[in-house]
Amino acid sequence: MGWLRLTFELSRDRASAADELLEELGAVSVTYLAATADEHSIIEPAVGATPLWQRCELQALFDVDVDFREVRQRLATAHLQQTNLTVDFLDDADWLNRWRQYAVEFQFGGRLWIAPRDSELSGELVLRLDPGLAFGTGSHPTTRLCLDWLARAALENRRLLDFGCGSGILALAARLLGCEVVYAIDHDPQALLATQENAAYNRLADARLIVGAQDVVADVAPFDVVVANILANPLIGLAGEIAGMLVPGGKLVLSGILHAQIAQVQAAYPNMDFELPALEADAQGAQWVRLVATKAGA
């Protein structure tokens, strides 16, 4: 079976409305990309989050019998003006290969493997994810930096919070690496479902993994380790809340931060002793950062 792909550009303030309308019109998927080559791609924004680019390229997949005249008319009626609109055919093999680029095999800390579900890798420390998930599959530097820290940390007998869990990749990796208990929280129900599905597939859905909205941690904080791989603005805006979930002497791991944002993020956490930042560049040359800190007062 094949798909028809509709590709067009529009301003980012209209992207969410276009996404909703395309799904209403029968799109089986909608993908956000940077519209221009000089804008840095973010492979793993929070589920449902608005892209950071000023202009977006949207790619929507439809069944081959879709009426594209109606799709274009509905977009125009909704004042979702499109530029550079193209329609082409995408077969099943192309579709799978496009998604699998985000789910290749990676190793972290010399012991933890992240792999697609059909990988032939074997061993106890292999976390298998669905290549159909475009976010949270370990390919983006922000996720890789966090996974590398987790794989090298002493997590046994530790209680860890994954703040903004997305696909659950960090929470599940922490469980696999020996955390006593892991809480994975997110404001988006789709993220919680993805985490639960990935946990079940990897046989990690037990009493040592708690997945839910933020209220599930109301009576169990603080934690020994808090990991937050979101973006700089929410890390700054939620700094008091995030820091308050950490025990004195506990470890804070922050990512989703660009190099130019280091000082601003660190300033939002005044009671933290920060280590030297760890950096990794993405394919467009953007320098992403992981910040690790110890909470004062131990």
* First vs last C-alpha separation in the chain: 60
**pLDDT-derived band at 49, boundaries 50, 70, 90:** low
The β-bridge partners of 31 are 59
- Distances in Å between the Cα of 251 and the Cα atoms of 14, 130, 245, 263 are 39, 29, 11, 19
Dist CA 168 CA 172 (whole Å): 6
Topology of domain 138-295 in CATH is Rossmann fold (3.40.50)
Dist CA 247 CA 139 (whole Å): 30
Residue 273 has pLDDT above 50, yes or no: yes
**pLDDT-derived band at 280, boundaries 50, 70, 90:** confident
What is the DSSP secondary-structure string of 127-155?
A: EEE-TT-SSSSS-SHHHHHHHHHHHHS--
Residue ranges, comma separated, of all CATH 3.40.50.150 domains in the chain are 138-295
Q: What pTM does this model have?
A: 0.68
Residue ranges, comma separated, of all CATH 3.30.70.120 domains in the chain are 2-98
- pLDDT, greater one: 83 or 182: 182
- Model pLDDT for residues 156-201, shown as the tens digit of each residue: 999 999 999 988 999 999 999 999 999 999 988 888 888 998 999 9
State whether residue 72 is helix, strand or coil.
Answer: helix
Dist CA 129 CA 214 (whole Å): 24
Topology of domain 2-98 in CATH is Alpha-Beta Plaits (3.30.70)
Residue 50 has pLDDT above 80, yes or no: no
